[in-house]
């Protein structure tokens, strides 16, 4: 009897352990089988984590800590297993150059399955070859110099109105990041999708912002569409956004568009379909519009929040910005009207542009990008097997760039002359690079410059919690939402 109980207990304890060890062993063999036997080079160093889950859970929960530990342990190229796929993570200017310039030859864009499912196959990020080239050409017209010249007054109107509301709180505590997200969302709605000001002011704006936040939180999740999973929540939020965008598209089609002047990106996409006599693909239009809104407000909100952080922590830099504004006749006393910020005026603000570059160097909104290997190729002595995902890192590439001295110091002067990216452009890649570089980067630069000018000449502020802890989810943001107090700037420096 006692022997039977002992045997039963041993089976109860040992059998699951043996099964687990067998699963781990099989997982290791599976991961190693991904190596291309026709290539003599070894796989990059690294670990592949747990069966099926790989290291996705650790990466999602730890984010920056996970990536920092990996970088310290394995260097600039290492293997892992993320979002259901064997993956090689790459950083450093020379390595990233090979990836970004290897589009169509070595690699092709391929975001994780959850991203492709939520954003959809019809958005620019998921298109390839001729379709990608054609769509990008159309959207780039919405970011031409003439278009940006038309956008600048609207940007200034929205930014100055937002700051006035902040100052109207009489120095009360304000959570900067959510406020900036709402501002950038309104600007993207008006300029990229053609929403009228009263539409952007409607009560459903907050619902849309919340839907985007929910969608963003769940973009990178395990590809399991069951109730309460990340993918399920992301799709549900995406559907709310699509419904609002479709209503706007149908309203646009029902009314005659005014002639003349630059057109927003959505109008250009509509006209492209009509010009080629193609049937209107509402799903693709919704996916493209969702991507434009996502890229047009999430990244600029992250960068603008970081600008407030760095200028708040470095008052000497803020003073230099104000001196530049003063030298260009842009620093007005409180009872004077602010000077209009047109393209020519903004281009004179070299130091302000360097402040934005330094912010993007230390805190790039997008941490990296995803590719898939089209064939097995060599990278710095390792093989990258065909079919494996390749992630290139923006933030880590900035961190390890030998071009920059005192890397942890916020020093905009490093960009004054000569510009570091001119001598090694892949050491500074906040907007990516190659044929997949961000289509809206000039839009973002102008918007961030206008935001910085209006902020510097209207506001003084105090960060209530000091330097924030930053998190990636998937865009970089402060964990505490950056509580701060804003008061009016006296105009004296």
DSSP string, 262-278: ---HHHHHHHHHHHTTP
Is 73 inside any structural domain?
A: no
Is 376 inside any structural domain?
A: no
For residues 351 and 320, the answer to whether their CB atoms sit within 8 Å is yes
Is 9 inside any structural domain?
A: no
Question: Domain total for the chain?
Answer: 1
For residues 367 and 474, the answer to whether their CB atoms sit within 8 Å is yes
Cis, peptide link before residue 129, omega less than 30° from 0:
no
Is 242 inside any structural domain?
A: yes
Q: How far apart are CA 153 and CA 341, in angstroms?
A: 7
What residues are paired with 471 via a beta bridge? 477
Buried b (16+ CB within 10 A) or exposed e, 448-459: bbbbbbbbbbbb
Is 114 inside any structural domain?
A: no
For residues 421 and 96, the answer to whether their CB atoms sit within 8 Å is no
pTM tops 0.85, yes or no: yes
Closest listed residue to residue 185, CA positions, set 83, 96, 93, 301:
301
For residues 466 and 479, the answer to whether their CB atoms sit within 8 Å is no
Q: How far apart are CA 90 and CA 379, in angstroms?
A: 9
pLDDT for the residue numbered 428: 94
CATH of the domain at 175: 1.10.630.10
Query: pLDDT truncated to tens, each residue of the chain (493 aa)?
Result: 565 665 565 556 665 655 555 555 555 555 555 788 989 999 999 999 988 789 988 887 777 788 889 999 999 999 999 888 999 999 999 999 999 999 989 999 988 889 899 998 888 888 888 888 888 888 888 888 999 999 999 999 999 999 999 999 988 999 999 999 999 999 998 988 888 776 555 556 778 888 888 998 888 887 888 888 889 999 999 999 999 888 888 887 777 655 556 678 888 887 777 766 666 688 888 888 888 888 888 899 999 999 999 999 999 999 999 999 999 999 876 555 667 898 999 999 999 999 999 999 999 999 899 999 999 999 999 999 999 999 999 999 999 998 898 999 999 999 987 654 444 679 999 999 988 899 899 999 999 999 999 999 999 999 999 999 998 878 899 999 999 999 999 877 7
pLDDT for the residue numbered 421: 45
pLDDT for the residue numbered 56: 83
Rg, the chain, Cα only: 25
For residues 300 and 444, the answer to whether their CB atoms sit within 8 Å is yes
Is 141 inside any structural domain?
A: yes
Q: DSSP secondary-structure letter at 82?
A: E
For residues 326 and 148, the answer to whether their CB atoms sit within 8 Å is no
For residues 483 and 466, the answer to whether their CB atoms sit within 8 Å is no
Which residue segment(s) compose the domain that 152 sits in? 125-366+408-488
Is 438 assigned to a binding site? yes
Is 61 inside any structural domain?
A: no
pLDDT for the residue numbered 196: 74
pLDDT for the residue numbered 422: 45
Is 164 inside any structural domain?
A: yes
pLDDT for the residue numbered 268: 82
For residues 317 and 410, the answer to whether their CB atoms sit within 8 Å is yes
pLDDT for the residue numbered 157: 94
């Amino acid at each position: 009897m006692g022997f039977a109980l002992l045997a039963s207990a041993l089976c109860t304890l040992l059998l699951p352990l043996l099964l687990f060890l067998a699963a781990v062993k099989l997982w290791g063999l599976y991961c190693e089988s991904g190596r291309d036997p026709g290539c003599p080079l070894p796989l990059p160093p690294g670990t592949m984590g747990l069966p099926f889950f790989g290291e996705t859970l650790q990466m999602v929960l730890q984010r920056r800590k996970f990536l920092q530990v990996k970088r310290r342990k394995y260097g600039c190229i290492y293997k892992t297993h993320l979002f259901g796929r064997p993956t090689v993570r790459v950083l450093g200017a020379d390595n990233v150059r090979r990836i970004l310039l290897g589009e169509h030859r070595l690699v092709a864009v391929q975001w994780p399955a959850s991203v492709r499912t939520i954003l959809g196959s019809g958005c620019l990020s998921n298109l390839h070859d001729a379709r990608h080239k054609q769509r990008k050409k159309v959207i780039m017209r919405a970011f031409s110099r003439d278009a940006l010249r038309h956008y600048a007054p609207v940007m200034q109107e929205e930014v100055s109105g937002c700051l006035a509301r902040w100052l109207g709180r009489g120095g009360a505590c304000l959570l900067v990041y959510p406020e900036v997200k709402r501002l950038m969302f309104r600007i993207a709605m008006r300029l990229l999708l053609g929403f009228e000001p009263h539409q952007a002011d409607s009560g459903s704006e907050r619902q849309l912002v919340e839907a985007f936040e929910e969608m963003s939180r769940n973009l990178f999740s395990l590809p399991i569409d069951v109730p309460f999973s990340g993918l399920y929540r992301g799709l549900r939020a995406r559907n709310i956004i699509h419904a609002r965008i479709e209503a706007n598209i149908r309203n646009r089609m029902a009314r005659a568009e005014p002639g003349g002047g630059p057109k927003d990106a959505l109008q250009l996409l509509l006209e492209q379909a009509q010009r080629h006599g193609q049937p209107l693909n509402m799903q693709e239009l919704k996916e493209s519009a969702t991507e434009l809104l996502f890229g047009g407000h999430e990244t600029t909100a992250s960068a603008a929040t970081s600008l407030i952080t760095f200028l708040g922590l470095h008052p000497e830099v803020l003073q230099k910005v104000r001196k530049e504004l003063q030298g260009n006749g842009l620093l007005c006393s409180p009872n004077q009207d602010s000077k209009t910020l047109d393209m020519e005026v903004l281009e004179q603000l070299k130091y302000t542009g360097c402040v934005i570059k330094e912010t993007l160097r230390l805190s790039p909104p997008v941490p990296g990008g995803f590719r898939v290997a089209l064939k097995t190729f060599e990278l710095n002595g390792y093989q990258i097997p065909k079919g494996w995902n390749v992630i290139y890192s923006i933030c880590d590439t900035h961190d390890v760039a030998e071009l920059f001295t005192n890397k942890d110091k916020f020093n905009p002067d490093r960009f004054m002359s000569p510009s570091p990216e001119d001598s090694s452009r892949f050491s500074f890649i906040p907007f990516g690079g190659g044929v997949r570089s961000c289509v809206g980067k000039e839009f973002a630069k102008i918007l961030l410059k206008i935001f910085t000018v209006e902020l510097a000449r209207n506001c003084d502020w105090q960060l209530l919690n000091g330097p924030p802890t930053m998190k990636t989810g998937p865009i970089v943001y402060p964990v505490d939402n950056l509580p701060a107090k804003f008061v009016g700037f006296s105009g004296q420096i």
